[in-house]
Structure 1
């Protein structure tokens, strides 16, 4: 089953003093392009997060975010009481003001407030890590559902190309006969004698030049291989991309060799379906 690289996952963790929202978004990319946004307190865990996401998401342009919203009194800034008291005593010697006014002035001075560096609480981090795992599961479910839509579209278009190929196969004898008749008519129009043996040799050469038997067989095999790969357990967009290139190569060769308008019209339709497949393959993991 294939997976899309497009996905979204969101999970909310409610802790005693804060609400933590974890969000994951992903779009298509040739490799893993991860952008992580989080409060500075969690930066030391960034490498751990990146490794986890790389293992689980594999490819895609991924935006990972942690948002923290305080839901209770929880501050890392504290009043430096001894320093503030010392400021107030000094201010009383130079300013005639009440204690409230002196306090307002004192807290504006250097070192009146201490900012305590927050440390990660390990039990809190374990809860956050579990929530990240949950968010990864959600985005992968989204990718799987999107992949199912792509899988159905690919199977439908491969069937269309296969149907068109069968029409090409059915009309090929008429095309070869048409080539033979045109050559005979061309020679007759010259109204000159010709070496029948040499003409037969030339006829065989031109018919072989226009022969598309190998291309028809290879294209049939490529279509079957594409379908088999789409419906396999693993999702491999790069592999499907390589197969689609081979499909395109055989279709183009049939078109260049056909020299037959009805067949070339079918080739154009096959190319159109293949281009739609290639566009969607850019989203496949």
Structure 2
């Protein structure tokens, strides 16, 4: 079953006192392109996180956002910025000496400075942190894969219906194309008859040869046979278990090449209109195929 490259997943996991919240969004991309955004404490896990994603995803731009919170009670919520405090005290002391002030430097004076007392930088336990993050990532990656498959079902139904339409339209085109060589022959005979009405009769064998050459040039039976083969192959790829996006995209190019050839050979307005209709449907298919992993 095919998978879409466009999907979203969101998972939260708690281990001990640490909670990891993961959000993943995926978009179209020719290759697997993983972007990780997370707190500084989790940057060391980036490569391991990418490996988790790459296990079950082959293509797409995948953006991962990670948020971590530790709910452990910690009495040391604030700490003193020693360097800033000493520097500020020395500045106050210099002002006092330069201005020959008698007043003492108080604690209140020091505390009036900004960022002397700051929130403490808590160091998380790396083992517990990874356990919380790893499980969250695995769940989020699996959830993303599920959502891609669900969207893939919609793509499968749409592409199958459109390919059935192309097959049906191709059968109608085939019946009409079978008459093209004879139509060209009659046109050639009428044209020659008109141009040579006042002259000696031309060699009928030569006329037949010219008509056969013209009919052969307008014959699209080979292109139609190849198109039926492409349709069969397209449906087979849709039903395969492997990543199919690149194969289908290549096959769309082959479809387009055959349609262009038929259009150039047709030379009849009705057939040309049918080819335009087929190419329009093919373009819709091509747009959908861009979403397939």
TM-score between the two structures when normalised by the length of structure 2: 0.84
Q: 1:132 aligns with which of 110, 128, 137?
A: 137
In 1, Cα distance between the equivalents of 2:81 and 2:207? 107
Aligned to 2:97: none
Cα pair 1:76 1:118 within 8 Å, conserved? no
In 1, Cα distance between the equivalents of 2:254 and 2:265? 17
In 2, Cα distance between the equivalents of 1:48 and 1:180? 70
In 2, Cα distance between the equivalents of 1:113 and 1:52? 37
Gaps of 5+ in 2: 94-101
Gaps of 5+ in 1: none
Q: 1:258 aligns with which of 236, 254, 266?
A: 266
Q: 1:177 aligns with which of 182, 188, 191?
A: 182
Cα pair 1:168 1:263 within 8 Å, conserved? yes
Aligned to 2:67: 67
Moved more, 185-194 or 45-54: 45-54
- Report the number of matched residues: 277
Aligned to 2:43: 43
The 1:37–1:58 alpha-carbon spacing in structure 2 relative to 1, beyond 3 Å, is same
Deviation at 1:222, TM superposition (A): 0.5
In 1, Cα distance between the equivalents of 2:66 and 2:79? 26
Deviation digits for residues 103-148 of structure 1 (CA, Å, limit 9, x no counterpart): 8369965xx7795572543133123201110000000111001111
The 1:184–1:11 alpha-carbon spacing in structure 2 relative to 1, beyond 3 Å, is same
Aligned to 1:95: 104
- RMSD over aligned CA atoms reads 3.0
Deviation at 1:209, TM superposition (A): 0.5
TM-score between the two structures when normalised by the length of structure 1: 0.86
| Partner SS, residue 278 of structure 2 | helix
Deviation at 1:34, TM superposition (A): 2.0
Deviation digits for residues 5-51 of structure 1 (CA, Å, limit 9, x no counterpart): 00111101234544321110001011122221101011111111122
